[in-house]
Structure 1
């Protein structure tokens, strides 16, 4: 479809003429594409970085033995079971300009004198959806990283303790190197899942205001189902696929080097 002219007109005529790279040329000529590409990279990079950072910290905490550990683990993972569209709606209410809890809290504590236009101001909108997506992705990171931590051999940590290594030294010189395959897999899967995020952004902002939160999935949806240019929407999807293939190839190359 990305190499064909597929619109309402051609579908009505029962035609899908081959047009080569014309859809890709039109996509690259559209300034909205580069805005969406930039937003996608910022959204994906920031989300994956903080999801991993917070997820790793919580996984390390949950790997320790303390009372009610399993209950806390279940509570932290409960967010992963909520459909993203529901989570997006909840955060839409939380960041509401008029009656959202976030503005209520900030004003009650004196951190701000007036409500913040979280989802209505182009300077805050992207950061707001990033915060929402970070919350959504933390449980996934905890699941993968905690699984990797439980598989680490305990005898080397016992030997390190005998040699006088502190917690930071164990983390830097033992845990992180041993966890490298798990960390790479977590980052790769996080990048793949985050780059294709659509529902949360569409529910909260619809890509606005003024394209401030327009990302590649929302742009592809808009081209396909608002402008009914299915060929250009498919071309954007193919571009996303190529980006994901680059990440996957990097992961395979890195893991193969580790094995060698």
Structure 2
């Protein structure tokens, strides 16, 4: 064994022993060593750029979402008064505010009104929006113009829409009662009768929410290949069969997100109800949103803790439905 062999064995043992992984010098006349590839380091400038893009969104979410939610949770767990806000000595009461609203006589009517208002608005908005989307999916000359006109209720400020409906449904001078009188129907106390006040605000909310459903569902219809409808027509499928077996199944993902966003929006509707009826008469149109506002700001002695507790119930409800939607989407992707 010559000196060259001893030198190669020495370098090989050093590499196996955990030392520096350096290639052994080649034997005279042997092949050139293969260089060891080094892992490239990620440039730090790219990391700072990524954090720079994330910083505005993070600050926005922290300031306008995380902190208000924390403050609302803190309000619901303490006995806050006007004096407490100034001196900052509100005692911790735990779940006492939640027990207070659960035993309040106004809780059950407000819960029923919230469910009826939300479910009725969602269903009617979706059905009308889907029907209009299917109608406008068939191209004709004034299609774009009419779609733009249908967006007007969605673009108007809520205070304008609610004030307009309040004037239209006025018992004495409203155009709705005038039209009913023209066909021989007596006047309806839309805003002053406990039997009609909730229906009045539901009608106004449906009118405002239909354009949103129209836009989203129309976009979903545009993504369905036209070849499917052509093949179904060649097989003799009627218009209803094409809608039932092609349009509606393929529109389910878009329908799910439309209903979810509509649910979150409808749960927190306050402006329309407060402007039109203020939750009355006799709390006949009071929902959790208006009840929360009335507890916190509508009394001479504000109850900030119970008002925040009612608001948190709405937040938890919307969060639960959002999580159910995410879980359903995840199962759909896995399947």
The bucket for the TM-score relative to the shorter chain is: over 0.9
Aligned to 1:176: 248
Aligned to 1:138: 210
Select between 122-131 and 14-23 the one with higher mean Cα deviation: 14-23
Q: Of the candidates 94, 114, 129, which is equivalent to residue 20 of structure 1?
A: 94
Q: How does 1:61-100 map to 2 (within 5 A)?
A: 61-100=135-174
Q: Of the candidates 266, 274, 279, which is equivalent to residue 202 of structure 1?
A: 274
Distance in 1 (alpha carbons) for counterparts of 2:225 and 2:100: 55
Aligned to 1:44: 118
Shift of 1:35: 1.1
Question: What SS does structure 2 have at the residue aligned with 1:75?
Answer: helix
Does the alignment pair 1:188 with 2:260? yes
Does structure 2 conserve the Cα–Cα contact (< 8 Å) formed by 1:8 and 1:229?
no
Shift of 1:68: 0.9
Count of residues paired in the alignment:
258
Question: What SS does structure 2 have at the residue aligned with 1:123?
Answer: coil
Q: Which has the larger radius of gyration?
A: 2
How big is each residue's C-alpha offset from its partner over 1:36-62, in whole Å with a ceiling of 9 and x where there is no partner? 111000000000000000000000001
Aligned to 2:234: 162
Aligned to 1:255: 329
Does structure 2 conserve the Cα–Cα contact (< 8 Å) formed by 1:4 and 1:19?
yes
TM value normalised by structure 2: 0.76
Shift of 1:232: 1.0
Distance in 2 (alpha carbons) for counterparts of 1:258 and 1:162: 31
TM value normalised by structure 1: 0.97
Q: Of the candidates 90, 93, 104, which is equivalent to residue 30 of structure 1?
A: 104
Structure 2, gaps ≥5 residues long: 1-74
Supply the RMSD in Å over aligned alpha carbons: 1.0
Aligned to 1:148: 220
Give 4+ residue runs of structure 1 displaced > 4 Å after superposition.
none
Distance in 2 (alpha carbons) for counterparts of 1:71 and 1:94: 26
